[in-house]
Amino acid sequence: MSFLDKDYREIITKAVIGKGKKFTQATHSISPSHRPTSILGCWVINHLYNAKKKSDDTVEVNGSYDINVWYSYNDNTKTEVVTERVTYSDLVPLGIKDDNCINDEFDVICKVLQQPNCLECKISNQGHKILVEIEREFLVEVLGETKVYAKVDPKGTKYDDTDEDWDFAVTDDELNEIDPDFLESSSRSKD
């Protein structure tokens, strides 16, 4: 097919030219103000992130979140919540990639498949720090301009979308197959 074929048209459009997914587990060390006796709870909040194309093969996702740990100290007689802001940078490899892009301008769409959450929270062996294991997962899509070739209908056939072309009438046979007691019989069978 030549570029100036009368039966085809070149359409320039934005399309997904790259796709990738990455699951990450990370362990963070938190230093509370008191020596912890036990962990009472852990949660992750205030997740913020952004993504940009790093190279032809990767997208970089930079973000942050707050880890809150509720712990007891002084032999379980007092409690406190310690909060620590954590930053991260994940490189997401593009597993699916299309090199037929017209220019070097890209948009990146980043979707969180798994919000950061706590898998495990425990006191370190030395007993002065709290170790928090976090998981997160992202899906990224890179959009770029590309060309699509469309075949032109040489006859210029026009299609009429009127309802007359469709036969939605119910036949007598179909009406005879309807069970009028369907709802009553199905509700009795659940009892």
pLDDT in tens, the chain (191 residues): 445 677 788 888 898 989 999 999 999 999 999 999 999 999 999 999 999 999 888 999 999 999 999 999 999 999 999 999 999 999 999 988 887 788 778 899 999 999 999 999 999 988 889 999 999 999 999 998 988 888 887 777 666 665 555 566 677 777 777 777 766 655 555 54
Determine the pLDDT at residue 188.
53
What is the structure's pLDDT at 167?
60
CA gap 162, 108 in Å, rounded: 41
Check residue 62 and give its pLDDT. 97
Q: Which pTM was predicted? A: 0.70
- Domain residues of the chain, as ranges? 14-151
